[in-house]
Structure 1
Amino acid sequence: MPGTTDEASAAGYRPLLFSIAYGMTGSVGDAEDIVQDAFLGWTRAQRAGTEIAAPKAYLTTAVTRLGINHLSSARVRRETYVGDWLPEPVVVTSDGPGTGPAEHAELADSLSMAFLVLLESLSPVERAVFVLREVFGYGYPDVAEIVGKTEANCRQIFARARRRIASGRQARDSAPSPARRVEGEEFARRFFEAAEGGDMEALLGMLAPDVVFHGDGGGKARAVGKPVAEARRVVKLLVGGLRRVRILGATLRPARVNGRPGFVIYDAEGRVVSVVGLDIADGVVRSIHSVANPDKLGHIGPVSDLTRMPEK
């Protein structure tokens, strides 16, 4: 069958394509749909007799342009979003990946929750150029061909995008090395022990003074309505929230959330309540992101109704 070998080979690009689409959209489901649409287009082109000399370049271009189109419509929806909008988390627990192929999570390590939030300030084309260049290391000639701009224009777009998110640069961290990952997991273990034990002083020593807690319930689950700043306020929020978790019979399971330390909260029946990720830099927690919106948790497993808001 013509193209069979090429199709098998092209399937190996899926993890990379997923991470590009996820970097563009911040949504696991939308990223998977975009990758699937790109492959469908590639298959149709082959069946129509179109010779594709470079499948990787063809698919990367398709995914990026589909992502740009998606963002143009998604921006309108996010303007009416209830509360803080956070990305859908890419989760890996001790039991294995929670979002499909493990490679998805590995390649998404460069896309922390904090970094994805910063990318929301960019236009769709700026985001595409910045993600391709900054995260995936594409050269300007390749970026220009993918987004359909001149190389000089892409250089200008990248510089503009970098300036726009410069104020939040400390939240952008490279993918953790194995050693840093182990160190981060040990820090997270001590952090969660202190939080569950209600040790406020220990927690204060682990939080940056200007730490910010972000919660995303999307109007469908109970969550903080706006970011909570300042270490003592965040400590009270954490300790109080975890105390309620224990009373309701829920449990915490350590996890990697977008390549960073975090945990998943499960109810007594083992259904997902929320996902919490920590952004750690210089030995302290800089920000905390908690996703409770049930629409953003279904790719991890069955979703709990423990914190679900009553329908109006």
Structure 2
Amino acid sequence: MRADATKGVVETMTTGRPDPGLNAIMSERRHLLNLAYRLLGSLAEAEDVVQETYVRWYAMPRHQQDAIESPGAWLTTVASRICLDLLGSARARRERYVGEWIPEPLPEHTEWTMVDPADRVTLDESINMAFLIVLESMTPAERVAFILHDVFRYPFAEVAEIVGRTPVACRRLASSARRRIRTSRAPATPTARQADIVRDFKRAWEAKDIAALVGLLDPDATTIADGGGLVSAELHPIQGSEQIARTIIDIAGKAPDMTILERTVNGQPGLVLQQAGVTVTVIAFDIADDRIRHMWAIRNPEKLRPWTN
């Protein structure tokens, strides 16, 4: 059940039972979506987690709800535990996934703004594709401990209650996750400069200029595509600037009606490919030293639903 049904479910479950705290409870939805998306890398699954969290809240008798001192903390705990369970099963599901699995890309209108402006830098960074890819390499417990503590600033005592480990163990989990992030992180490239490079890449692609494309790519660049077995996509990463350039020129030749659009993807400059007005591919970039190091091309139509509006 998707999150757009949340209001209807809540109204149904509260029919004949006025809930003066309904607005306060529902105001937590944005926070829960922010959290669940970062934990799962999937907007669809994040919406399902939030839905299930609210269902569990309204399944409780009123006296139990009233006894909870902090409903927001309760909702966060439940949502995080659901995510932890899903992360455990996700590994098995992704072993059966056809080709490479890439997190679901976010269009600009779903980049939820947090209340505290001081959180913007950390939260913006934690939705970019390169960051999410590193999160995929972590154990479920590492990922939950790191996101809760380092991104959302929950104290380790609360993290421990959610993860089911001691505060000391959670501190170690977050520290291990932090090392993974540091190891993979490239020097930051200003967003305006990233946009320039992506725009140059778009123009070179449209012009089928292999030399220009190679010049924009790191010699050891990697491109990964995710079709999920539902559409055509390379099943393995493409490595090397020349090979990538020739591959995407070949794609342009096979789809002469393709339109390439500059769009924000997970908070950073990216590209969207459309055919007959329909989004068929969303591309996220990782840029360092004025060169494109990584490209992630999401083609699985189930992951492109937020891009159809």
Common topology (TM > 0.5): yes
CA change 1:231–1:46 in 2 (3 A) is farther
Q: Which moved more, 1:287-296 or 1:37-46?
A: 37-46
Query: What residue number does 2:35 align with?
Result: 20
Contact 1:3 1:46 in 2 (8 A): no
Q: Which moved more, 1:111-120 or 1:133-142?
A: 133-142
Query: What residue number does 1:156 align with?
Result: 172
Q: Which amino acid aligns with 1:158?
A: A
Question: Is 2:199 the partner of 1:192?
Answer: no
Query: What residue number does 1:256 align with?
Result: 264
Q: Distance in 2 between matches of 1:164 and 1:254?
A: 30
Q: Work out which of the residue numbers 202, 218, 242 in structure 1 matches 2:252.
A: 242
Q: Which amino acid aligns with 2:99?
A: G
TM superposition shift of 1:226: 0.5
Contact 1:65 1:147 in 2 (8 A): yes
Stretches of structure 2 lacking an aligned partner (at least 5 in a row): 1-15, 115-119
Q: Distance in 2 between matches of 1:3 and 1:60?
A: 23
1:132-170 per-position Cα deviation (integer Å, ceiling 9, x unaligned): 223333332332233232211111222233345654333
TM superposition shift of 1:3: 7.4
Q: Which moved more, 1:234-243 or 1:1-10?
A: 1-10
Q: How does 1:29-178 map to 2 (within 5 A)?
A: 29-45=44-60, 47-50=62-65, 51-92=67-108, 97=109, 99=110, 102-103=112-113, 110-164=126-180, 167-170=183-186
Q: Percent identity?
A: 36
Contact 1:276 1:288 in 2 (8 A): yes
Q: Partner of 1:170: helix, strand, or coil?
A: coil
1:55-90 per-position Cα deviation (integer Å, ceiling 9, x unaligned): 222121111100011112221111111111111111
Question: Is 2:193 the partner of 1:183?
Answer: yes
CA change 1:110–1:163 in 2 (3 A) is closer
TM superposition shift of 1:108: 5.9
Query: What residue number does 2:295 align with?
Result: 288
Q: Work out which of the residue numbers 215, 225, 237 in structure 1 matches 2:235.
A: 225
Higher helix share: 2
1:96-154 per-position Cα deviation (integer Å, ceiling 9, x unaligned): x2x5x7549x8565222222222222221111012222333333233223323221111
Contact 2:134 2:180 in 1 (8 A): no
Q: Distance in 1 between matches of 2:43 and 2:74?
A: 22
Contact 1:19 1:108 in 2 (8 A): no
**How many matched pairs?**
286
RMSD between superposed Cα atoms in Å: 2.6
Contact 1:46 1:52 in 2 (8 A): no
State TM-score, norm by structure 2. Answer: 0.83
Q: Distance in 2 between matches of 1:82 and 1:48?
A: 48
Q: Partner of 2:219: helix, strand, or coil?
A: strand
TM superposition shift of 1:48: 4.4
Stretches of structure 1 lacking an aligned partner (at least 5 in a row): 303-312
Q: Partner of 1:31: helix, strand, or coil?
A: helix
Q: Distance in 2 between matches of 1:54 and 1:127?
A: 24
Q: Which amino acid aligns with 2:171?
A: R
Q: Which amino acid aligns with 1:295?
A: E
Q: Which moved more, 1:192-201 or 1:236-245?
A: 236-245
Q: Distance in 1 between matches of 2:196 and 2:29?
A: 32
TM superposition shift of 1:6: 2.9
1:198-247 per-position Cα deviation (integer Å, ceiling 9, x unaligned): 222222232222211000111111111101111111111222223333x1
1:255-278 per-position Cα deviation (integer Å, ceiling 9, x unaligned): 11111211221211x222111111
Structure 1 stretches of 4+ with a deviation exceeding 6 A read none
Query: What residue number does 2:226 align with?
Result: 216
Q: Partner of 2:281: helix, strand, or coil?
A: strand
1:14-69 per-position Cα deviation (integer Å, ceiling 9, x unaligned): 22211211112111110001011112222333634332222222121111100011
Q: Which amino acid aligns with 1:184?
A: Q
Q: Partner of 1:49: helix, strand, or coil?
A: helix
Question: Is 2:22 the partner of 1:7?
Answer: yes
1:282-312 per-position Cα deviation (integer Å, ceiling 9, x unaligned): 322110000111222223228xxxxxxxxxx
Query: What residue number does 1:307 align with?
Result: none
State TM-score, norm by structure 1. Answer: 0.82
Q: Which amino acid aligns with 2:26?
A: A
